[in-house]
Amino acid sequence: MKRPFFTRLPPKTADERLRIAAIGDPHQTKALCRRLVLLPVYRDLSRRVQPDAVLIPGDCTDNGNEENWRAFRRLTERLTGGRRLLIAMGNHDTWESYKTPHDYAPARERFLRHTNVLTGSEHTEVWFSCEIGGYPFLTLGPESTDTDGFLSDRQLAWFETALAEAAAEHPGKPVFVLCHFPLNGTHGAGGRHGGGFVDDAVSRRLQAALDRHENVFYISGHLHFPLKGFRGLPPRSVERVGEHIVSVNLPCCEYGSVFMGGTELPGKGVLIRVYADRVEIGGRNHLFGRALKRTAVTAPLTVPRAPSP
């Protein structure tokens, strides 16, 4: 029997607690060529993957002006099939254009206004927390227009408290953290390559907060690195950082890696499937509707021990 070109994922079983699709850096404008990449990605998600939630860690727009946000919103509203959406702010979302000085305040306002409509939320900050399917999610966002992400002391203090509360309220469950920018020195990027954080002190504080808790999954984009070598030599899309952090860096959905000197085509993302004792992570080519089997990796979850009698 001939194998179908597109592969549909089977429905969730009782063992699969949560199914998450994550795509990085859509970089949308009103240009038709941009829509022609994201359109089949959304169709594959809605028709064949059917996740509980779709995560987009920033750079939704190529420039965060009103025109680009309207283009992204029209496409996303129509094709996500009513799935839960979680969207972080990226550095491109803080820019008005490539030709004028960037102004963070109006860019932040546009991000919140458009993403609140898309997600059905009422966020007043670019950092926030929520639950999806009984699992905690925390989202971080830049507070400047820099290519490197800046997180203020106020945001970091909120994050440390929110992460501790999420871990305490959901013992043994994974906690998912969404941020456009990877931790410094991870995924084969080296320090400050294309966007670690503004300074090492911020990255160290963030990593220290993450590493105080078990079963933490940190999901980022920004680097436009190819989706390959989960287990191979750097750059790796999934790697352990510290003792307890599983860091997932997404490829650029819009460009692939061609703008970074690579040859990977666009339209790829990551599927995250959560079970009681593990999280399975694997790549998917959404343009062709196929799982990328060589990218599959399993992260066991640390289960809290029952107290001694």
Domain presence at residue 1 = no
Q: Report the pLDDT value the prediction gives residue 99, as an integer from 0 to 100.
A: 85
Asked if residue 197 is part of any domain, the answer here is: yes
- Rounded to whole angstroms, how far apart are CA atoms 180 and 164? 21
Q: What's residue 69's pLDDT?
A: 97
CATH assignment at residue 278: 3.60.21.10
- On whether the CB atoms of residues 89 and 111 are closer than 8 A, the answer is yes
- In angstroms, how far is the first alpha carbon of the chain from the final one? 57
**139 found inside a domain:** yes
Task: Note the pLDDT of residue 149.
Answer: 82
Say how many residues make up the chain. Answer: 309
Q: Residues 6 or more apart from 50 whose CB is under 8 A from it?
A: 9, 11, 19, 81
Token pair in block for residue 164: 């501790």
10 Å CB burial of residue 60 (0-12, 13-18, 19+) is buried
Domain count for the chain: 1
Q: Name the pTM for this structure.
A: 0.93
Is the residue at 266 inside a domain?
Answer: yes
Q: Please give the pLDDT value at position 246.
A: 96
Nearest CA to 235 among 245, 222, 244?
222
- Does a structural domain hold residue 77? yes
Give the pLDDT of residue 4: 55
* Ordered mean pLDDT values, 10 residues apiece, the chain (309 residues): 67 94 96 93 93 96 96 87 88 91 94 95 96 97 88 96 97 96 82 55 90 96 79 74 93 78 81 96 93 88 63
The domain of 293 spans 18-299
Place of tokens 């339209």: 267
For residue 140, tell me if it sits in a domain.
yes
Residue 13 — φ and ψ, nearest 5°?
A: -95, 175
Q: Would you say residue 11 lies in a domain?
A: no
- pLDDT for res 230: 59
Per the domain annotation, does 81 fall within a domain? yes
